[in-house]
Chain A
Amino acid sequence: MRLVRLFGAALLGLLIPLTFTMNAAVGMALGNPRLGNALFEIVGALVSLLIAWGAMNREMTGKIRRVPLWLWLGGVMGASGVLGMAILIPRIGAANFQTLFVFAGISSGIVIAHFGFLSSPVARITFIRVAGIIIMAFGAALAILGRIPFVNWQ
């Protein structure tokens, strides 16, 4: 069962580039990535509200008021980042984009965890974690270049 769930996580990961490439395709078809991105976010917001509907109750309004205002900036950052994807994917390709994106996400994740930023569980940066980032960087170079970097066989 656990293996099925792990496989499910990989499948969800597979959907990430599909979603963002579809968003980029809408931007290309419209000749305007900004409008494509707005349509993507509107559809996403409607579906998310539908999913959240059952969890809404009267206490929620008070809880929402107590959330620090700056935390809501996450939504703005998300929209800007997704727009950046819609502009970049047609230029550098989905594979290159995803490889660099995953590398940056995991690397920044271990820094956030090291400092316990935003009350995330603390996990100190260790030698093994740094070795992992170096291996990831090498793997990313292979995936992007399609050859071993700095080695010319010819």
Chain B
Amino acid sequence: MTILYVCITLVIGVILHLPVVMNAAVGKALDSPRVANGLFWVIAACSAIVIGWNGWTDGTLSKLSDVSPWLLLAGCIGATMLFAIAVLIPQIGAGNFKVMSALGAVLGGLIISHFGLFGTPQSSITPIRIIGAGLMALGASLAVMGKIPFLHKRQA
């Protein structure tokens, strides 16, 4: 993994955090996170079509038959997931959600890489990698909550 890829990934991590906040701001302005989310996806789809159009070459679509149809469900999972997130955050709090979803995302990434699913590079899960994921969850918890978890001050 080159430093260049690391830097680009970090930039994407920062860039993709902004649309989430912007989507929430639009949801607040419209009084409807559902509509804001729908419109965001439409704009994203239009942008992706424009970007895809520039990379169009003859015969690109002929390979579409090689793609398992269930892989196209990714967009369906993505859209449903965002809706589920909007429902869950008011119930458990944005901070808790960020920490738990961060833990889930890192573990999910480790599992996918362990089996090299979907033809992606393989790297085995080791105890050190699990400890790393745990430390990430602990660090995320401190960074998001601003306090040590499970340590409550007694009220007088």
Contacts and interface: CB of A to CB of B under 8 A. Distances in A.
Interface string B100-126: 111111111111111001111111001
B123 A37 contact: no
Interface in B113-156: 113-114, 117-123, 126, 128-129, 131-144, 146-148
Contacts of A54: 34
A6 B45 CA distance: 31
Given A9-B96, A77-B16, A100-B10, A136 B109 contact: no
Contacts of B78: 19, 23, 40, 44
Given A40-B74, A92-B5, A139-B134, A104 B10 contact: yes
A94 B120 contact: yes
Nearest to B104: A13
Interface string A58-71: 00100110110001
A136 B114 CA distance: 21
Contacts of A26: 67, 71-72, 74
B2 to A, nearest CB: 9
Given A9-B104, A13-B101, A41-B75, A78 B123 contact: no
Contacts of A21: 112, 117-118, 120
Contacts of A51: 34, 37-38, 79-80, 83
Interface residues of B, number: 117
Interface residues of A, number: 118
B121 A103 contact: no
Q: Is the interface of B mostly helix, strand, loop or mixed?
A: helix
A90 to B, nearest CB: 6
Contacts of B111: 14
Given A5-B88, A95-B112, A47 B120 contact: no
B25 A109 contact: no
B46 to A, nearest CB: 8
A67 B100 CA distance: 31
A76 B56 CA distance: 19
B76 A47 contact: yes
A9 B46 CA distance: 30
A86 B106 CA distance: 17
16 contacts: A9-B100, A9-B101, A15-B104, A23-B74, A23-B75, A24-B118, A35-B61, A46-B75, A48-B83, A51-B37, A67-B29, A88-B5, A93-B113, A93-B121, A98-B110, A135-B142
Given A44-B41, A136-B139, 20 more contacts: A12-B85, A15-B77, A18-B108, A34-B54, A35-B56, A35-B60, A52-B39, A66-B29, A67-B26, A77-B19, A78-B40, A95-B114, A98-B105, A101-B105, A105-B13, A105-B14, A128-B142, A131-B139, A135-B135, A142-B128
Interface of A: 2, 5-26, 28-32, 34-35, 37-49, 51-52, 54-56, 60, 63-64, 66-67, 71-85, 88-110, 112, 117-120, 123, 126, 128-144, 146-148
